[in-house]
Amino acid sequence: MASDKPDILLMGPPKPVIANGLAPLFNVHRLIEAQDREAFMASLADKVRGFAVTFSNIPIDGKLMSRFPRLEIVASFGVGYDHVDAKDRDAFLAQIADRVRGIAVTFTNQRIDGALMSRLPRLEIVSSFGVGYDHMDVKWAGEHGIVATNTPEVLNEEVADTALGLLLCTVREFPQAERYLRAGKWVQKNYPLSSATLRDRTVGMIGMGRIGKAIARRLDAFGVPVVYHTRNADRSVPYRHYPRLLDMARDADTLLAIVPGGPGTQNMINAEVLDALGSRGIVINMARGSVVDEPALIRALEEKRILSAGLDVYVNEPEVPPELMAMENVVLFPHLGSASDWTRQKMDQLVVDNLASWAAGKGPLTPVAETPWPPKKRG
């Protein structure tokens, strides 16, 4: 008996979360497994209604799309669609505009702004990967009756583990010591003692939300005093609250940022805060690059007005300022917070689950605060 599930052409590697997520809903045809791809596509030309593209290096051009007259949707990995032939890009968006009701965002490096969303008049939901959502204009979405979802909680412990790793690496210079050993220098002389230790430090956390609490719990276990700055004191934690960041920077010697990005936190770690932190000061940024005034941080490090920094995030990722790259006293991670296969799969799954729950009429699982469910009427 013919199945009434729509036929989908899966292009690129069958990533488990995507392939398994699609399998119960669609007849999935895996291009990668075809002996003769041309013949395989020709045999499916009259059936395929959608492409699922699992990597953004696969060119989706007009010539390819025109081979599938029933094609309605190209669901691509990544929100960037620059792998779709530039001259076809507008046509592509226009072609799907009156059908698209949802966007699945699998990486947070592209903006989902009003200009993009307004091109899709039937859009109801943007299901995004990652807990941070400063890449989306959620205000615009909320005003236009579109719900945005993120992937909170499932990554808390992983990001907290990474934060402790980055803190330890920065304070005790572990990456530098490892480079020293690999350069064959240990046989000549011991690596120098680290000038810093966690033993005499107080960590001033900027942010005490889901991930902040998981980091603070680890610091408790390490015997490191914690204080924090947020806009609102959180009565559920025992740490001292500072309503003003500047006051906390004066009292603490280590700042660890784990707040959302966006205008509310833009450049909150600025020259004044760095000077208040002082020459023993260490800055750990697990939040977003925008939270730190990067040029001011570079100057403070160059002029030794603070001791060092450990950074997981940058203003213009994946570009890292050459001044930071050249410094020995900083530790630089390539945005690793949640980057284990185990945790990323949980985040991917929540992107799928939000869409599936919405499609089943039950509402999305984790809408962001700015776009509560059910949405207000379209403005």
Alpha helices in the chain (DSSP H): 16-22, 37-44, 62-65, 86-96, 114-117, 138-143, 156-172, 174-182, 210-221, 245-251, 271-277, 294-302, 322-325, 341-359
Stretch that binds ligand NAP, among 71-79, 177-185, 227-235, 302-310 (CB under 6 A): 227-235
Strand (E) or helix (H) holding 127: strand 125-128
For residue 364, count other CB atoms closer than 10 A to its CB: 25
**Residue from the set 189, 199, 231, 244 that interacts with ligand NAP by CB under 6 A:** 231
Residue nearest to ligand NAP (CB): 209
10 Å CB burial of residue 294 (0-12, 13-18, 19+) is buried
Q: How many CA atoms lie within 13 A of 135 on its CB side?
A: 25
**Tokens 């000077």 identify what position?**
275
CA angle 91/97/100 to nearest 5° reads: 135
Tell how strand 240-242 and strand 147-149 pair up. Answer: unpaired
Interface with ligand NAP in residues 128-167 (CB under 6 A): 131-132, 152, 155, 159
**Residue from the set 17, 286, 331, 350 that interacts with ligand NAP by CB under 6 A:** 286
Q: Give min distance, CB of 366 to ligand 8YV, in A.
A: 12
- Contact call for residue 83 and ligand NAP (CB under 6 A): no
Q: Give min distance, CB of 135 to ligand NAP, in A.
A: 10
- Contact call for residue 265 and ligand NAP (CB under 6 A): yes
Q: Give min distance, CB of 151 to ligand NAP, in A.
A: 9
Q: Give min distance, CB of 183 to ligand NAP, in A.
A: 29
Nearer to ligand NAP, 54 or 338 (CB): 338
212 binds, among ligand NAP, ligand 8YV, none (CB under 5 to 8 A by kind): ligand NAP
d(CA 223, CA 211): 19
**Footprint on this chain of ligand NAP (rule: CB under 6 A):** 131-132, 152, 155, 159, 207-212, 229-232, 258-261, 264-265, 286-288, 312-313, 335, 337-338
